[in-house]
Amino acid sequence: MRRHPFRHPRVRPRPSRRVAALAVPLLLAAALGGCDGCRRPAGGAADDGAGDGTPRRGGQVVIALTSDVGAVNEVIVPATVPTAEVLRRMFLPLVEEMPDYRTVEPRLAESWEFSDDRKTLTFRLRDDVVWSDGVPVTARDVEFTYRAWTDPDVAWGGAFTVEAVERVEVIDERTVAFHFERAYASQLLDVGAGALILPAHAWGELPFSEWRASADWFRENLVVDGPFRLASWAPQHEIVLERNPLYYEEGLPYLDRVIFRVVPDQTSQLTQLLNGEVDFVFQLSPDDVARVEAADDVELVTYWSRGVIFIGWNLSKPPFDDARVRRALTLGIDRPTLIDSIWGRFARPLASPIVPEMVPGAAGRFEPLPYDPERARALLAEAGWEDRDGDGVREKDGRPLAFTLITNTGNRQREDALVILQDQLRRVGVAIEPRALEFNTLVGQVTSGAYDAVITAWVMPTTLDYRFAYATSEIGGSNFVGYSDPRMDALLTEMREAPDREAMRPYLAEMHEIQQRDQPYTFLWQSQRISGIRERVHGAEPNHLYSLFDLREWWVGPER
Amino acid sequence: MGGTGALSGAARRGGGFAGYLARRLGASALLLLLVVTLTFGLIHAAPGSPADQLVPAGPGEAERRARMERALGLDRPLHEQYTAWLAAAVRGDWGTSMLQGRPVARVIAEALPATALLAVAAMAVEYTFALSLGLWAVRRRDRFADHAVRGLSLLLFSIPAFWLGLMAILVLAYLWPVFPAGGMYAPGTDHLGTAARLGDLLRHLALPALVLGLGLGGNTVRFVRNSLLDVLGEDFVRTARAKGLSERRVLGVHALRNALAPLLQIFGLTLPALLNGSLVVEVVFAWPGLGRVVFQAINTRDIPVVLAATVVGAALVLGGNLLADLLHAAADPRVRRKVVAGA
């Protein structure tokens, strides 16, 4: 049984962004047992010009998005980064997951509790949150939202995250209970933090069967309960949010307006950041770091993303059906050199899908296999692959150890990795033909199994549910390599039912061991997100969950 | 062009122009249908589906993707999907964007004005550039200036639009910030007056129009130059010169007027290049036009949007060509005779 006391809105001055940006990598460095590359890059040494550092109300910031927001209703459009980032500033979830992978803070719900069997989760809502037309947010909104999530006509992409919910019960105006068919670890995150609560009184009159085609209707009938409301929207160009005067946290947000500009090209985003047309860019390329560091009114903010880049080996095809070959390939890859030449200090090697910060006490536990070309050669020889004709490529039964390694075009880091891996693995007698494919073509080849090996990425869920990667049931879907191991399947199920992260640790350790042994995937790196922000903006602490996580607390100094 | 008996008969009977027009419109409609059918086949044959975008990664992905395809009607036989789409499109119903949940007609209609504005501005740049440099080169024929113009035109013709765009941004928006780097107007200028907004719009229009216009102008300059040179060999030019007219007048009035007619054809022929170029330029300059809509729709396999944009693009090109031919006919009596004769 858990209760979280409500914390009063913070109007206290927050630590400056510079300190925070420094603190995050340092914490990580500590967690990793030291990491030379993890220091925050120097640069942008000019003074904040913020006087005493007290947040100022007013002003606006301009933020670049790579694509337009899908719609104002998140259940009818793909969950792209721009859509999630912008809608989360207009609508509230019941609770908010915090970036430390540990805590959950109250939002719409001021408290919550589980029944003794953990199959009922009851939320107590705040009594001072209203929609922007003045109508209070009640348990009825929560129940309505649940019906929208699970309606087959609405066909919300995220519906699978709430499939264990049997029903939602309105107990009174401010109390609502989720009844689950079984207890599992991420119940609270799935129903409380994963999606936003929608306005029943405003959107309930449109039948669910019409939702998917009614993006414009939702915009015309938009009411919000978050810190910002929509001021204007020019498709493919600009979305303007303005302060929601009825927002419940007193004094927030600080900014009058936030202007989102759709700038699809990354180089154009950088230029607009440097010449002051935009104040914040989500993602810069590591190649652009030097230019940003040289500018005196722009700063870099770096933080670990949950994006994990890996090679998936097609296990249904020789030679990848032999675990010794897969281990040898992993041992033959010099990951530190690979990472250094592509990312410099902004990425680190990873052994498995486990991002160490997500697991308590994981520091130093999940070490990747080392770079060991000698052992790689020995393993390949043991598996019967030897270079008999002296052409530098091993053979077995007359077939050379050669394959095509694919990735998607338009991602500079992955395309560079193709070439470096080709060079590295040639040294252990493996011939790689690198090929970059248009993204949809790549997805098509991978889902139909018509590939040898692929470099691609996952964003790791904070729920520590790794079924998507290893479960036999996911073959043909996210487990596109076709991995199947009975012990792993049992492990994943047991882990899912663990009551908390602490209880998951032994399972995670075993999962790591099996990954090290079988190497169905060779994990290459986890990178940092490199955001760029103009010095005039204060209070921004982007994190792996959302770059605009605390947008309501961003503020700008007086205009010069 | 042979035409059907009835139509050429009409042409012979003196309903010439109407018959010609009817024939051309009919042929255009057939071509349009062909283009759309081909696009429909290609986008369905291409790997990937809009369901890939709508279904997030996670447990049960394969099954959820299949369910989403059913919800979108993508599991039906292809010919059924095609006839359903065509029947609706003919009635003016372009369907709903699968990724945006909005009527496709509105998505296209919102993006069209920005592209039209960019295209008109780019053509203004293209022809101003091509005519002035073409004339200049011809007056200095085979001298250094002429060679320089030809070199420059080849260069502009060969430079990829995205590179030219990025260079323009680097030089004119960053190193020497005369123009904004992108967008259609400055952030949050909706409160400004009409005049101020118009000025802001023109400032934002300048770079993309320049880049697109110069890229197209490279080819057009060569055409103007060659066309002028052809005309200069004609008898009437000799007559004009013999009358003692100044070279400026001979070139700028007599020769140019006659060289312009073929240029109208070039206008029709460069329309596809203009649309292609605007796609790239719109991405680089964050210009919210049709090119961007198409680019995104293709990447996300938003089939109804791709099809509608194809129809609009193809109709623009076909219509532009028809218009160019009509103008050409109006400008050149020889062509006009051919048209009416149904040749």
Condensed to tens digits (0 to 9), the pLDDT of residues A51-101 reads 567 899 999 999 999 989 989 999 998 888 899 999 999 999 999 999 988
Among the partner-chain residues B65, B181, B187, the one whose CB lies closest to the CB of A62 is B187
**In CATH terms, is domain A307-528 a member of 3.10.105.10?**
yes
Q: E strand or H helix at A64, and its extent?
A: strand A60-65
d(CA A255, CA A270): 23
Q: State whether the Cα torsion A246-A249-A255-A261 is positive or negative.
A: negative
Query: Rounded CA gap, A536 and A12, in Å?
Result: 19
Over residues A320-329, mean pLDDT: 95
Angstrom distances, CA of residue B281 to CA of A529, B2, B157: 28, 40, 15
Parallel/antiparallel/unpaired status of strands A402-408 and A431-437:
parallel
In this predicted structure, the answer to whether residue A522 has a pLDDT above a threshold of 70 is yes
Q: Rounded to the nearest 5°, which phi and psi values hold at A273?
A: -70, -45
The DSSP bridge partners found for residue A106 are: A95
H/E stretch holding A504 reads: helix A501-518
Instruction: Give Cα separations from B252 to A38, A559, B136 (angstroms).
Output: 68, 54, 10
Residue A398 identity (one-letter amino acid):
G
Nearest-10 Cα torsion for A239, A245, A248, A253:
60
Q: Which of residues 475-534 of A touch B (CB under 8 A)?
A: 476-478
pLDDT number for residue B299: 86
Please judge whether A271 and B170 are an interchain contact, meaning their C-beta atoms are less than 8 angstroms apart.
yes
Average pLDDT, chain B: 83
Q: Is A44 helix (H, G, I), strand (E, B) or coil?
A: coil
Query: Average pLDDT for residues B119-144, to the nearest whole number?
Result: 87
Establish how many alpha carbons lie within 13 A of residue A216's alpha carbon, considering only the half-sphere containing its beta carbon.
12
- Which pLDDT belongs to residue A100? 87
* A12-36 mean pLDDT: 33
Q: Where are the domains of chain A?
A: 307-528
**Residues A461-477: what's their mean pLDDT?**
88
Least confident of A108-122, A129-143, A358-372, B99-113: A358-372
Cα A503 to Cα A118: distance, rounded to the nearest angstrom: 15
Secondary element (H or E) of residue B85: helix B78-90
Report the 3 state secondary structure along A389-425.
Answer: CCCCCCEECCEECEEEEEEECCCHHHHHHHHHHHHHH
Q: Are B122 and B216 in contact (CB under 8 A)?
A: yes
Supply the Cα-derived Rg of chain A in whole angstroms: 25
Confidence of residue A37 (pLDDT cuts 50, 70, 90): very low
Cβ atoms within 10 Å, residue B83: 11
Average pLDDT of the segment spanning B272-288: 88
Helix/strand number for chain A, H first, E second:
16, 21
Is A474 within 8 Å of chain B by CB?
A: yes
- Report the alpha-carbon distance of residue A373 to residue A334 in Å, rounded: 9
Rounded to the nearest 5 percent, the helix, strand and coil shares of chain A are: 35, 20, 45
Among A102-111, B7-16, B176-185, B245-254, which stretch is predicted with the lowest mean pLDDT? B7-16
Q: Which of B167, B169, B200 is the best mutation test for A, with the most CBs of A within 10 A?
A: B169
* pLDDT for the residue numbered B341: 56
Helix (H) or strand (E) holding A441: helix A439-448
**Residues of chain B contacting residue A264, judged by C-beta atoms under 8 Å apart:** 283, 286, 292, 295
B178 vs B157: CA distance, rounded Å: 25
Q: What's the pLDDT band for B273 if we cut at 50, 70, 90?
A: confident
Residue with tokens 């890059």: A41
| Cis, bond preceding A82 (omega within 30 deg of 0) | no
- Return the residue of B nearest to A236 by Cα: B288
CA distances from B218 to B131, B158, B229 (A): 11, 8, 17
- In one-letter notation, the amino acid at residue B211 is V
pLDDT exceeds cutoff 50 at A409: yes
What is the share, in percent, of chain A residues with pLDDT greater than 70? Answer: 90
Q: What percent of chain B has pLDDT over 90?
A: 25
More confident residue, B83 or B263: B83
DSSP 3-state of A10: coil
* Cross-chain residue pair B64–A441, CB shorter than 8 Å: no
**Per-residue model confidence (pLDDT) at position B340:** 57
Q: What is the pTM of this model?
A: 0.84
Interface test with A, best of B55, B61, B67 (most A CBs within 10 A): B61
Provide Rg for chain B, Cα atoms.
25
CA distance B225 to B136: 9
Q: Which residue has the higher pLDDT, A541 or B224?
A: A541
Tokens of A266: 């990354």
What pLDDT sits at residue B339? 59
Decide if A357 contacts A28 (C-beta within 8 A). yes
Could you give the ipTM of this predicted complex?
0.83
Tell me which chain A residues have a C-beta less than 8 angstroms from the C-beta of B184. 234, 237
